[in-house]
Structure 1
Amino acid sequence: MFKKFKVLLVLMIVCLALPSSLAYAYQNPKTLSNEWPTYGSGDPYVLKFKGVYYLYVSTKDSETGIKAWSSTDLVNWTYVGLVATDPLTKGAYAPEVIYWNGYFYMYTSPGGGGHYVLRSESPTGPFTIQTPNKGLTIDGHVFIDDDGQWYFYRAEHGQIIAHRMSDPYTFGPGVNTGASINGGWTEGATVIKRNGKYFMTYTGNHVHSPAYRVDYAVSNNPLTGFVPATNQNPVLISTEGPTIGLGHNSLVTGPDLDSLYMFYHDWRGYTPEGWPIRSTNMDRVVWNGDKMIVLGPTATFQPDPAQPDFQDRFNRTTIGSSWSNVNGGNWGIYNQELMWQNSMGATTWYKQVTNASTATNYTAEFHTKQMARGTSASPKYGVTFSYIDENNYGVALLSSKYNRVETNFVVNGVSQGWVNADLPAGFDYSKWHNIRVEKAGTEFKIYVDHMLKVTRSANLAGGKVGYLTEDTHADFAYVAFSNKVGGSSAWDAYKPVPGKIEAVHYMSGGEGVAYHDTTPENIGGQYRKDGVDIRVNPEGGYNVGWNQSGEWLKYRVNVASTGAYDVTFRMATTMNGVQIRLWDGTTDLTGIVSVPNTGGWDAWRSITVHNVPLTQGPRELRVEFVTGEADFASMEFHHHVAVPHLTDNFNDNNSDGWKRWEGNWSVSNGQYHSAGGTFAKTTFGNDNWANYTVEADIKMNEAGGDAGLIIRGKNPANGLERGQGNADFMQGYYAYIKTDGVYLGKQNYSWSNLTGVATPLAINTWHRMKVTVNGTNIKVYVGDMNVPKIDYNDYSPTAFTHGKVGLRTAHKSTSFDNFTLYP
């Protein structure tokens, strides 16, 4: 055991005292009512339909039926019962549901024994079996592209397989997408399309491993060419702490129509009967260009998902004062769930528009279906937006006669011309369909059933939204708009601290409120359209550039608990004497922080400031550029934990405080032994230790393999568990010796050789190794404790700045002694 100091681990339960303007109701993990007993809620999938969310989870292996819950806010869930009860749904794995043309199609793999397709006319069932067993492995997922083409994705060893579909029941040949978790078992795919690119999240390792995690990959093709996001992966992981074994996610748009949320499960071990226990979790996803960032995993209270700025579910008996009629028509409310208009026979555009108006940029969502079509030349129905008056508005109308969506804008009384887009063959206008409008500047994107159909420009501002008909009897359901678009809701979201914040995600509000910038325009012309200067970052996404003396940027954060934190700024500059400072209101948190000349505007460096006091709850932090000029990419917060001075000489023949992850470890004769024959690691300490020196005596008992010290290790797991056979189940650095030299590498659930130096080292001889980490510099000493064998700077975007210590071997019998750690 450690002789000089004892390490006390304190579990802090956070009770947030927050302003009433913010709702903080959810905390991971989430326990749902009526979960499967001793099983919980694994493989969560969330469908949004007409403004209501439906959550489906896997079925306990011994039970039959599929359970579901509903919600309007993603926080409060109501159990809706068994949505499928067919005997074939016994142990139904990972049920996913997609809506198309009036039907809800469910894909599930009962007991993992091939896939079945079920169908219902309601998201709450009853879902009935439509196909024989289609075979194929588990975790089916369906994605529909903008052209209406369907794709089916499923799990496989070392890859995610995709199939082009000819209809909801028929799968073509399988294709390797390129997405993989390090060549091991890969499952749980989810695909979304964003700005013309396809993003796939997926999960790997055994579902009951703490190292179950989420990666993502990007492609220009929905079938092939998915390239893992190396600098971002794993995008979600936690192997220790309150939630572990995180994975099998789904992605869903939040109530504000703009935010994106990741639902995933954690793993809590087994019941005495041997059943796995899992729970549902939810965290926010934000974007910086093509960089997907999960603001988690979190286990403290977080802000509830934001609601839209306007929404109407028509849950009343009359249309009411929130709407205004334009040009007449016979309008009404049916069953307190929808609005209708049934006057036909004329070519008049009958409209109902909201009295509420959008901002200049917004997202709007509408739901509509045709009840009857007239005999005029062009009967149609649909939506209006940016409506100011009859001389200024936009429309997106569905035409069952011509099977298309028709769009037009009128600006100052002048028609901008009709632009139409065909809809898929067999499009059933008598069923509910979704129309979505995204407006950013003068650009409008118009989606039908999540398919991007029209992109065009018009010189219109914001305005009212509404429904209209021409010679058509139509029904209209849930409508909403949000004054956010294209992910801009991330700017004002309260990002969790500890956590990482992208520099471009400063608040909205403009000059003097969200930022101070000495130039009125965005010099770089990228990402945002205000006065802050933003450019493309070669490390991915965008960064804030051209930051001058006296300029500042403000960020919203949600601090988990009051205390000290370390803050790591990602900066680049060619100037000497650059200084920055971090503020909370009028409180100077850091004092003057010097930023070194990094040698180039694309030569990024991580600069960590330690022991910064932060106050619990929602805060607005301000980054000030005091002197000089520097580019700014991100800042990351860790709890500040002082590094103790401790030793362990193992003379008491135990390894108290060390956690063994794999391999064969033992203590005897006052030494800590790894038996060799495979890879092995053991760790000690705190994930939030930053700068320190660690030393140990190492004796190689055989010629092959390697042995050494773990530095800044986090998220370790057993790489041999459940047949994984992966030596790199950890994030951190490994300084090690072999008979031919001294080496340094990096693990991030993959392996990267960093550097090494050749020097002969004898077996059966004690070698003293010392490693000092300070900022992003790593010095490795062997034998000579004054001159390092390795002096390495990790300037990469995946540099590790905090983590615990440990010992590691790979296929080498090794003895360790006289372990020492000090600040």
Structure 2
Amino acid sequence: MWKISKKVVASVCILCALALPATGAFAYTNPMTLPSEFTSSGIGDPFVMKYNGTFYLYSSTGQSDTGFKVWSSTDLANWTYAGICSTEAITNDGYAPEVVYWNGTFYMYTSPGGRGHYVLTSTSPTGPFTVATGNLGHSIDGDVFIDDNGSWYFYSAAGDGIHAAPMSSPTSIGSDVVLGGTQMSGQWTEGPTVFKRNGIYYMTETGNHVLSPGYRVNASSNTTGPLQPFTPSNSGAPILLNTEGSNVGLGHNSVFIGPDLDTYYTVYHNLAGVSPEGWPIRHVNFDAIGWNGDKMTTYGPTNWSMPNPAPPNFEDRFQRASVGTGYGNLNGGTWGISNNFLYQNAKGSNAFYINYENTLTTASDYTAEYNVKEVSKGTVAPKLGGVYGYVDASNYGVAILNGSANRLETTLLVNGVWDTQVNTPLPAGFDTSKLHTIRVEKSGTTYKYFVDKMLLETKTTTRLGAGKVGYLSSDDEANFGYLAVSNKVNGSGIFDTYKPIPGTIQAVHYNSGGEGVGYHDTTSGNTGGKYIRNDNVDIRDNPEGGENIGWNSTGEWYKYNVSVKANGSYNLGLRYATTYTGTQVRVWVDSTDVTGVVTLPSTGGWDNWQTYSIKGLNLPAGNHTIKVETVTGEFDFYTMQFKEADNSSFTKTDNFATTFGPDWNWSGGNWAIESGEASIDNVGKRTMGSTGWSDYTVESDIKGIDALNSGIMVRVQNPAQGGAGNDAGLGTDFYQGYLAVIGGNAVSLGKQNYNWTTLASTAGTYNTNTWYHMKVVVSGNNIKVYVGDMTTPKIDYTDNNNPFITGKVGMRAHYAHTHFDNFSVTH
């Protein structure tokens, strides 16, 4: 790419109508223990759905339990037990209930004991749900997706990947197709969740086994359709994983939009233990998802105190006796409140009766949510819906449900003149007498209109801007539920979310607030012209997905809200590109310089991306602001990867005289000591040290007894085994890091990210029952592998493709009886 250097709420309470602050307060901590969990199993396979402004969480039952439980929350942090929502016999050992609301009915899909799916129905999210079908088959972990045209699809688990089937009705499932690209490393794959965002179909799926610490979540996507093959995201690597410590076995997630109407969240369970009967004991976890273009990033897993999810800027649940002075009125009408619904009853006229909230004017970009249902129609032109961008009686927009014509109607009134009305058909059988959700997103000049999550219309106009929101009724009796508006849209909610450290932060997710608050840019205009912000930061497409900040020049900076897990030392992997020699950066935490001035080497091209490790940042625990400053020069900036660090100097050795030394801390496979040597027969791996180690030299003598396919692991994170029985063979690829391996005809270096990628190989002849001395030197992104000759490396490889920057050391054999001796690491 040719580059040109360039030198950018107080609460108002009126009878419980709330204008809310834009950021979350207080804190929650994963994993969460909710009231009245199953005593034998906790909460497993959590599923969250939203109805009329309230989130409902459903969980699997235990094998000794009958009756699905449900919890409710308005903020995702504080949950109330809402009781048993079904006592049907098939809920005994009920797997993964998911609930879909459609046209007045709640449909629950569950697979008792994994023996095929049943559909249960209710008129309330808290039940009672009763059985509506027989066994429809389709394995376990059913997930329903409704496309923008109202078509339904069913997804389920299988050994060859996720299966998908069309649905002719909410209670009828068609024939399966196998979705390519959804099987996780040849493992059993389950827990699919499918959703659509900006025209792209996304799927998250879970693999391995619920009783394994290596239970994890992957993601995939396509642009071709819900029954078409998916392409794995992140090169098939996990997006949610942790195998060591107190919070392991993370998986079976669902994805939904949070309280701020914009930020996506993933809910999942962890493996807290195993009951005496062999059942998993699980608890619920929540983490935010950030979008960098179409690239999905999970800001987690976290297991320390995190700020609560942000609320909307305004919301009203109408939990009072009268409308109150917080609302303005246009054209009169009969407005009141009953049973937590705003109502209007004025028939016989086609006038638009409007009640608009009068406490908050939106920003120029926003998301609004409306919940509406028609009690009875008049005879003239019955309609109901939402009002947005309300300035005065001559300037506002409307999104209207016309039940008589079965369509969505949208138009703008500007200076007293109506735009051309756009009419979009609603699905066949759409019943306006049932509660429906209308969603309006305004981003720049683009408006998007959703009904019950279906994107029905997109328009572009400059004719209307910020304003107020409210409800509209014409010639009908109507009830109006939860009303909310957020000054966030199209993923902007993640900007001010506190990003976890350790973790990886997308550079484009800098704080909001504009020039001098969230960033400082020395020239006007967005040179790259990408991303959704209307500010002066220069954003361009990145070849690795999404966008990056570009043209960072002397004196410019960007700030990020972060939540640091614990006091201590951290290493920062800064992913950047530059052709400049001597570009210098500095990182601040609040007002403290934690790096000093750091010089970045030239990467040789603006699309030659590298990760540079800045070591030993002393960070305080808690919520802080990170600032990345360009001291001099110019560079492009993609991500920051923070890892807990141990940068001390030492040498550790083990000669395996009679037992394994105390520094070994994880083992998989049938390791033993034989004649003063470490022995592994068949498949296994073993690790030593800290995940905070970065640069070091590892050496060992290696001898293949019946085969040669063994070597030294470096920068190891998240080791695990496979299956319920912690099978070393099923989990042979279950770790993240690098492996230098001796084979019969080559020395090779590979990268493991719960899959295997060969990085480099050098041919040679190596025999069984012969000792070979191997040395691996890791420095920055460079890995040198020596075998026999300790002067000239067999492999000298620099990994510039999102390298691992810290991790433990270890030994590994892959279907080869192998002995190791004289193991040492110098750090």
TM-score range, shorter chain: over 0.9
SS across alignment from 2:289: strand
Residue 667 of structure 1 contacts residue 673 of structure 1 at CA under 8 Å; is this kept in 2? yes
Q: C-alpha separation between the residues in 1 aligned to 2:460 and 2:111?
A: 45
Once superposed, what is the RMSD of the aligned Cα atoms? 1.5
> Which residue of structure 2 aligns with residue 509 of structure 1?
513
> Which residue of structure 2 aligns with residue 792 of structure 1?
797
TM-aligned CA deviation for residue 195 of structure 1? 0.5
TM-aligned CA deviation for residue 655 of structure 1? 4.5
CA-to-partner distance for each residue in 1:606-637, whole Å, 9 max, x for gaps? 00011111122211111111111111001111
Residue 237 of structure 2 contacts residue 755 of structure 2 at CA under 8 Å; is this kept in 1? no
Task: Give the alignment partner of residue 559 of structure 2, picking from 554, 557, 560.
Answer: 554
> Which residue of structure 1 aligns with residue 677 of structure 2?
671
> Which residue of structure 1 aligns with residue 651 of structure 2?
645
TM-aligned CA deviation for residue 209 of structure 1? 0.9
Contiguous gaps of at least 5 residues in structure 2: 1-20
Q: C-alpha separation between the residues in 2 aligned to 1:65 and 1:166?
A: 28
Q: 1:658 to 1:714 in 2, by over 3 A?
A: same
Q: C-alpha separation between the residues in 2 aligned to 1:815 and 1:303?
A: 49
Q: 1:809 to 1:21 in 2, by over 3 A?
A: closer
CA-to-partner distance for each residue in 1:445-469, whole Å, 9 max, x for gaps? 0101111111112321110100111
CA-to-partner distance for each residue in 1:528-574, whole Å, 9 max, x for gaps? 32100000000011000111111111111111222221111001011
Residue 175 of structure 1 contacts residue 223 of structure 1 at CA under 8 Å; is this kept in 2? yes
> Which residue of structure 2 aligns with residue 165 of structure 1?
167
TM-aligned CA deviation for residue 272 of structure 1? 2.7
Task: Give the alignment partner of residue 739 of structure 1, picking from 732, 736, 744.
Answer: 744
> Which residue of structure 2 aligns with residue 576 of structure 1?
581
Contiguous gaps of at least 5 residues in structure 1: 1-18
Letter in 2 for 1:288: N
Q: C-alpha separation between the residues in 2 aligned to 1:821 and 1:346?
A: 84
Residue 734 of structure 2 contacts residue 753 of structure 2 at CA under 8 Å; is this kept in 1? yes
- 2:483 matches 1:469: no
Aligned-residue sequence identity (percent) comes to 52
TM-score by length of 1: 0.95
Letter in 2 for 1:541: G
Q: C-alpha separation between the residues in 2 aligned to 1:63 and 1:43?
A: 15
Q: C-alpha separation between the residues in 2 aligned to 1:685 and 1:380?
A: 67
Residue 775 of structure 2 contacts residue 786 of structure 2 at CA under 8 Å; is this kept in 1? yes
Task: Give the alignment partner of residue 143 of structure 1, picking from 145, 150, 153.
Answer: 145
Task: Give the alignment partner of residue 398 of structure 2, picking from 384, 388, 395.
Answer: 395
Letter in 1 for 2:512: S
SS across alignment from 1:25: coil
CA-to-partner distance for each residue in 1:82-122, whole Å, 9 max, x for gaps? 10111122111000000000000000001111110000000
TM-aligned CA deviation for residue 487 of structure 1? 0.8
SS across alignment from 1:308: coil
Residue 653 of structure 1 contacts residue 668 of structure 1 at CA under 8 Å; is this kept in 2? no
Q: C-alpha separation between the residues in 1 aligned to 2:673 and 2:236?
A: 38
Q: C-alpha separation between the residues in 2 aligned to 1:89 and 1:579?
A: 61
Task: Give the alignment partner of residue 354 of structure 1, picking from 335, 353, 357.
Answer: 357
TM-aligned CA deviation for residue 660 of structure 1? 5.2
> Which residue of structure 2 aligns with residue 494 of structure 1?
498
> Which residue of structure 2 aligns with residue 205 of structure 1?
208
SS across alignment from 1:342: strand
- 2:214 matches 1:180: no
> Which residue of structure 1 aligns with residue 755 of structure 2?
750
Q: C-alpha separation between the residues in 1 aligned to 2:659 and 2:386?
A: 76
Q: 1:736 to 1:232 in 2, by over 3 A?
A: closer
TM-aligned CA deviation for residue 379 of structure 1? 2.2
* Paired residues for 1:274-673 under 5 Å: 274-335=278-339, 337-355=340-358, 356-376=360-380, 378-459=381-462, 460-527=464-531, 528-643=533-648, 644-659=650-665, 661-673=667-679
TM-aligned CA deviation for residue 391 of structure 1? 1.8
Letter in 2 for 1:740: N
Q: C-alpha separation between the residues in 2 aligned to 1:455 and 1:211?
A: 42
SS across alignment from 1:156: coil
> Which residue of structure 2 aligns with residue 5 of structure 1?
none
CA-to-partner distance for each residue in 1:624-669, whole Å, 9 max, x for gaps? 1111111100111111213532111112334444245433211132
Q: 1:314 to 1:183 in 2, by over 3 A?
A: same
> Which residue of structure 2 aligns with residue 7 of structure 1?
none
Q: C-alpha separation between the residues in 1 aligned to 2:303 and 2:312?
A: 25
SS across alignment from 1:489: helix
> Which residue of structure 1 aligns with residue 3 of structure 2?
none
Residue 655 of structure 1 contacts residue 667 of structure 1 at CA under 8 Å; is this kept in 2? no
Residue 72 of structure 2 contacts residue 81 of structure 2 at CA under 8 Å; is this kept in 1? yes
- 2:42 matches 1:40: yes
- 2:218 matches 1:215: yes
Residue 662 of structure 1 contacts residue 720 of structure 1 at CA under 8 Å; is this kept in 2? no
Q: C-alpha separation between the residues in 2 aligned to 1:762 and 1:198?
A: 50
> Which residue of structure 2 aligns with residue 4 of structure 1?
none
> Which residue of structure 2 aligns with residue 66 of structure 1?
68
CA-to-partner distance for each residue in 1:382-433, whole Å, 9 max, x for gaps? 1110000122111001101100010001222232210110000100110000
> Which residue of structure 2 aligns with residue 775 of structure 1?
780
Q: C-alpha separation between the residues in 2 aligned to 1:80 and 1:96?
A: 16
Residue 446 of structure 2 contacts residue 458 of structure 2 at CA under 8 Å; is this kept in 1? yes
Q: 1:364 to 1:129 in 2, by over 3 A?
A: same
- 2:226 matches 1:243: no
TM-aligned CA deviation for residue 754 of structure 1? 0.9
Letter in 1 for 2:774: M
TM-aligned CA deviation for residue 21 of structure 1? 8.1
- 2:274 matches 1:270: yes
Q: C-alpha separation between the residues in 2 aligned to 1:660 and 1:493?
A: 34
CA-to-partner distance for each residue in 1:167-215, whole Å, 9 max, x for gaps? 0111111111221111221110111100001000010101111111000
- 2:803 matches 1:812: no
Residue 721 of structure 2 contacts residue 730 of structure 2 at CA under 8 Å; is this kept in 1? no
Deviates more, 1:638-647 or 1:283-292: 638-647
Q: C-alpha separation between the residues in 2 aligned to 1:708 and 1:518?
A: 51
Number of corresponding residues = 799
Q: C-alpha separation between the residues in 2 aligned to 1:599 and 1:681?
A: 38
* Paired residues for 1:20-39 under 5 Å: 23-39=25-41
Residue 379 of structure 1 contacts residue 399 of structure 1 at CA under 8 Å; is this kept in 2? yes
Task: Give the alignment partner of residue 761 of structure 1, picking from 758, 766, 783.
Answer: 766
Q: C-alpha separation between the residues in 2 aligned to 1:51 and 1:729?
A: 40
Residue 158 of structure 1 contacts residue 182 of structure 1 at CA under 8 Å; is this kept in 2? no
SS across alignment from 1:504: coil
TM-aligned CA deviation for residue 761 of structure 1? 2.6
Task: Give the alignment partner of residue 76 of structure 1, picking from 68, 75, 78.
Answer: 78
SS across alignment from 1:245: strand
TM-aligned CA deviation for residue 20 of structure 1? 14
Q: C-alpha separation between the residues in 2 aligned to 1:811 and 1:50?
A: 56
